Structure 1
Amino acid sequence: MRKEGQENKRNWKRIIGIILFITLVSSIAYTIVKIIVAPSGPIGTEAYEKVKSDYVLMLLQCILGLIVMAIPSIIERRWLIDIPNNMEVLYFIFLYCAIYLGEVRNFYYIIPFWDTILHAFSGAMLGALGFALVSILNDYESTRFHLSPFFIALFAFCFALTAGAIWEIYEYLIDGIFGLNMQKFALEDGTLLIGHEALSDTMKDIIVDAVSALIISVAGYFSIYKKCKDD
């Protein structure tokens, strides 16, 4: 019965992975065509029309999505670490929501707080992944360290926050190199934000990452503490 449940999880992971892969590949083809035909800058109409730089951002995000999609498989093959299937399913869903729905379908501008929702989701997911990694290492017979519940929770929190900070650095560098707007320092029509407003998106993302990771870390701490006490 347990093997059947694990097989169902693998099937779900495979199905969602295939859907994500097809979506990203088709989005890459779509954005390449749009880069060719889109105007280089605003054409003076009242309604804002996407320009080449907008589609360049989409293309970069879709290519990055294909690359990071393969990370769990690479980790599992190279270091023989079995990442939980549920975690990989959530990871694929996050990539679909962030890249396809967020960038290609423009949910970042259409759906209020879409970016905030995704950062809260990613912070919690990365915190849970931090717990999973430490649990895997603790279970290995070849490793001779067993962290206390507090340090496991601290690692999970720092792991999630570090990943969030690296993502913000990536956005800042890509914006600077390609003249894009990943950090949302400008409105959809190109109007530049000034001062505190220009920083608000980046700082909000980091704060949301920290809060969601902290919630998961505290919950995980009490769960592990209770388990250790019962044992």
Structure 2
Amino acid sequence: MIRHNRINNVLYTLDGLFALVLLTIGGIYLIQNPVWDVQNWYVIAFSNAIVTWIVIQLPWILNRFFNVAFSKLITVTYYVFIMLTLLIGEAVGVYRVVAAYDSFIHAIGGFVLALTGYYIYHLLSKETNKPLLIIFILGFQALFGTIWEIFEYGLDVFIGSNTQSYFDDLTQTLFIGQAALRDTMLDFIFNTLGAIIFILILPYIKNEWLIEKK
């Protein structure tokens, strides 16, 4: 069973209430102005609120139907990550006004992916081969970090968004050369940095916070 501790319940409730507020504001606007413009703040807030409501149910769904039990650290970081990315970053718009916020989030994302990689490694193997564990964690982070960048590229191509910051939002000027690659490469760099931070502090994290006891 998932540990329904107070911290998890509070974070789940905060995510849900925050999403509900944004869903209401965005929904009222879209009723009055039924035009789906991916650059419009109300559309961004509305769509991210819906995604938030879906993803905050995933721990319960995985536990209920697939008997997957998550540890304290995984569930806490999961709900915090949703708050920082989908709600504060995307829906509120901090990504667009604080240049360093995206790199900060990708560092946290790398940490979360490394934590998830550790959890999966523990499920698949009982061996304590530290070099293999480190390689698996870094490889897991790199794989899903790459998949995310492919997803962002797909969004930019098919719906006209600017998730990979290949043009200036204010002037609509296209970047060229290294400037066009800067956002994606920084994402890879900070993802890896987050994973390395996890590996460095791993020996100091209590095992019960990493692995859920049966």
Tell me the TM-score range normalised by the shorter chain: 0.7 to 0.9
1:150 partnered with 2:131: yes
SS in 1 for 2:39: helix
Aligned to 2:193: 211
Aligned counterpart for 2:178 among listed residues 175, 178, 196:
196
**Aligned equivalents of 2:96, 2:122: Cα separation in 1:** 39
Letter in 2 for 1:123: G
Determine what percentage of the aligned residue pairs are the same residue.
Answer: 24
Check 1:64–1:195 CA distance in 2 against 1; reply closer, same or farther (3 A cut): farther
Aligned counterpart for 1:185 among listed residues 158, 166, 176:
166
Q: Which moved more, 1:107-116 or 1:66-75?
A: 66-75
**Aligned equivalents of 1:169, 1:58: Cα separation in 2:** 23
Shift of 1:102: 1.1
Aligned counterpart for 1:102 among listed residues 54, 73, 89:
89
**Aligned equivalents of 1:28, 1:52: Cα separation in 2:** 16
Q: Check the 8 A contact 2:103/2:190 in 1, yes or no.
A: yes
Between structure 1 and structure 2, the one with the greater Rg is: 1
Shift of 1:191: 3.1
Shift of 1:155: 1.5
> Which protein has greater RCO, CA pairs closer than 8 Å, 6+ apart?
2
Aligned to 1:54: 39
- CA RMSD in angstroms comes to 2.8
Letter in 2 for 1:124: F
Aligned counterpart for 1:83 among listed residues 53, 60, 70:
70
Letter in 1 for 2:156: D
TM-score using structure 1 length: 0.74
SS in 2 for 1:52: coil
Aligned to 1:13: 8
Unaligned stretches of 5+ residues in structure 2: 206-214
Q: Check the 8 A contact 2:18/2:87 in 1, yes or no.
A: yes
**Aligned equivalents of 1:14, 1:78: Cα separation in 2:** 20
Check 1:117–1:38 CA distance in 2 against 1; reply closer, same or farther (3 A cut): farther
Aligned to 1:32: 27
Check 1:15–1:163 CA distance in 2 against 1; reply closer, same or farther (3 A cut): same
How many matched pairs? 201
Aligned counterpart for 1:171 among listed residues 146, 152, 157:
152
Letter in 1 for 2:191: D
Describe the superposition over 1:4-33 as per-residue Cα deviations: whole angstroms up to 9, x where unpaired. Answer: xx97x6121012101101211321232234
Check 1:218–1:201 CA distance in 2 against 1; reply closer, same or farther (3 A cut): same
Describe the superposition over 1:145-197 as per-residue Cα deviations: whole angstroms up to 9, x where unpaired. Answer: 53522222221111222222122111111121111111222223133322321
Q: Check the 8 A contact 2:15/2:52 in 1, yes or no.
A: no
TM-score using structure 2 length: 0.80
**Aligned equivalents of 1:38, 1:200: Cα separation in 2:** 35
Shift of 1:124: 0.9
Shift of 1:127: 0.4
**Aligned equivalents of 1:108, 1:54: Cα separation in 2:** 13
SS in 1 for 2:109: helix
Aligned to 1:63: 50
